Amino acid sequence: MWLFRFLVAQLFLAFIAMALPSEVDRSSSVTTVSLVKKFGYAIEEHEVQTSDGYLLTMHRIPYSKHTGYDGKRPVVFLMHGLLCSSSDWVLSGPDNGLAFIFSDAGYDVWMGNARGNTYSRKHASKSPTFQPFWNFEWHDIGIYDLPAMMDYILYLTGEPNLQYVGHSQGTTSFFVLNSMIKRFKSRIRSAHLLAPVAWMGHMESPLAKVAGPLFGQPNALIELFGSAEFLPSSKAMELMGSVFCRDQAFSQVMCTNILFLMGGWDSPYLNTTLIPEVMATTPAGCSVNQMFHYLQEYNSGDFRQFDYGATRNKKEYGNKNPPNYDVEGMDVPVYLYYSDNDYFASLIDVDLLRRTMNPASLKRAYRMPEKKWNHLDFLWGLNIKEILYDTVLEDIINA
């Protein structure tokens, strides 16, 4: 059944690609700034440069529209997943958007954007038009992007630490950061990880089952040819969302199948009214290497650094195999939130993560009671505030 849906979704995407304009347009009317302003909240844009030259845009909601500026606030930092952006946290509006919920609860809310996505397509010396810009993967987001953004936030606000909330790749890059750069132990008060992705050997995604055997092998070709951009955001995608995915559109079922393909089939929590905005902002673009690294995790069953093949691995790591990430050595308070119907963070893999983590560090592992809750429902599920975000907020307050 999943194969049939997979093929139908792929044919639909191919039809859209042929029917709509192909040029990339970054001036989309659906942006994090436009969405936040639409709902009456203050919004700021901040740019920070990483130590390897990427210029990243962060979005900040400094205070709630219900209070106005009310003095210094504790900081919460939200980090998006693969092919996503800061828009994830505001698409659902004030009632269910996590950024708004935190703002109304008294937090200074910062939303990150990883290199290469819609809002972070600049570099001190490289152009995204050319291949060298795209020579990165999510390991680099963990060791360069997260430190640069969090150091900037803490310096600007004067706060000693922050609360971290990540979804999907935002959890993977968190594990990378805390495995590789131990100084952040004192800078993260607690971490709240939605749909945590580390080990992926039991991932159920049809995309992984199809692409994993082909693209999840040790990739020595990257050294020769480099990486490239994968699924950039475009005006065509925004048009697709507004025309083909709106309520009452006969083709909306195809849009839902695309989302189910990404996150898990047949979730009853999918907010179909929100699909046009989701499709207008997602995918937000990434590097092909990010995809390859995840497929390597699926193939190997290990949570480890990028596998270039034995020859370059020896040069890069001093061993023919890439090193594992030191999840056991992390010493930051961590809260996990996971579900049964998640194609990317399977129950078996999350259980391995739980057993590997330092028991003193793992403060909570919350398995969603909603059996059909999927990977994307952590962002846009119906009634998500009552179902999940109230719990996350309570955990942060008590951390």
Collapsed DSSP state (helix, strand, coil) of residue 399: coil
85 is catalytic: no
Helix axes 146-157, 169-180, angle to 10 degrees: 80
188 within 8 A of 277, measured Cβ to Cβ: no
Spatial CA neighbour of 299 closest among 218, 353, 227, 195: 218
Distances (CA, A) of 326 to 100, 202, 230, 277: 34, 20, 29, 38
Spatial CA neighbour of 172 closest among 153, 150, 151, 145: 145
Q: Which of 80, 167, 192, 375 is catalytic?
A: 375
Q: Which of 168, 227, 233, 287 is catalytic?
A: 168
166 within 8 A of 193, measured Cβ to Cβ: yes
68: its two tokens = 């106005």
375 is catalytic: yes
284 within 8 A of 87, measured Cβ to Cβ: yes
Which distant-in-sequence residues (6+ apart) come within 8 Å of 326 by Cβ?
A: 179
DSSP state of 186: G
Q: Any idea how long the chain is?
A: 399
Question: What's the burial of 209, exposed, middle or buried (CB within 10 Å: 0-12/13-18/19+)?
Answer: middle
Helix axes 206-215, 288-300, angle to 10 degrees: 90
Phi, psi at residue 166, to the nearest 5°? -130, 150
Positions annotated as catalytic residues are: 168, 375
